[in-house]
Amino acid sequence: MRPILLEVFGFPINSYGASKAAAALIAAYLLAREFRRLGWDPDRAWSIVFTATFTGFAGGKLYYLAEHRDNLTPHSFGTSGFTWYGGLVAGVLTVVLLARRHQLPLGQLAGLTAAPLSFAYAIGRIGCFLSGDGTYGTPSDLPWAMAFPNGTMPTLVPVHPTALYEAVVAIAVGGLLWVMRRRWTPLSLFGVYAILSGAARFLVEEVRINQEVMFGLTQPQLWSLILVAIGIGLLGKGKLTSFRGSALPATAAS
């Protein structure tokens, strides 16, 4: 593991922070490409991504602190400890507000963000893996199980490298969405992202160390089910929109 990625003039650059910066840069670059393809101002893509990244981190941190309010320590307020769903909610709300401010069609913008968001999540999870931030799975004797003796939250017991699982899946989902982006309606595209991302997190929770809170499910699993349900709704709405749109020329011809 490499909690400290490198040193620049004696200052340590940690892999966790570097991965988050790289995630934002790549997501902004991909979104700006799509903005440029549509004739939109690409500078707005950079602005949207960086603003949503900032508010997403704030939301993720606040959610984490609220989630662990009964056993907070000085370490809890440090640079680690974020809850992804808190960040997702805050980031989505930010994008909605910015879309209205810049008068961008929200549905189309959602579709454009799907693949970049998945790639960014993958890069962020790679940072979690490299830093050994404690987002581990249960102990395992599988050949790829890993110990994290030098992690920011060390463990000497081989465990499921769940951050790596999520990174691999997120890269695959991002690649699929990137290929689909010109063939599917934007709402359908974001719906697919929500379904696949929610399902992936739900499944990885089966080997994560998180407390069950309701119906034998962990809190991330409950959020995952909500995300999948939203994705199904968006996918259905997007397909219906596409069906109506394809019917318009025939109606006009008659």
SS3 (DSSP) at 14: strand
Please state, in angstroms and rounded to a whole number, the distance separating the CA atoms of residues 199 and 227: 9
Average pLDDT, integer, range 90-114: 93
Q: Which amino acid is at 52?
A: A
Task: Give the model's pLDDT for residue 32.
Answer: 96
Please state, in angstroms and rounded to a whole number, the distance separating the CA atoms of residues 241 and 22: 35
Mean pLDDT of the chain: 85
Of the segments 12-26, 108-122, 151-165, which one has the largest average pLDDT value?
108-122
The structural domains of the chain, with segments of one domain joined by +, span 4-182
> Does 119 or 16 have the greater pLDDT score?
119
> Does 87 or 142 have the greater pLDDT score?
142
Instruction: Express each pLDDT in 198-243 by its tens digit.
Output: 999 999 999 988 888 888 898 889 999 999 999 999 988 876 555 4
Please state, in angstroms and rounded to a whole number, the distance separating the CA atoms of residues 215 and 211: 12
Instruction: Express each pLDDT in 113-144 by its tens digit.
Output: 999 999 999 999 998 888 888 888 999 999 99
Tokens of 17: 């922070």
Task: Give the model's pLDDT for residue 250.
Answer: 39
Cβ atoms < 10 Å from Cβ of 226: 13
Please state, in angstroms and rounded to a whole number, the distance separating the CA atoms of residues 71 and 138: 22
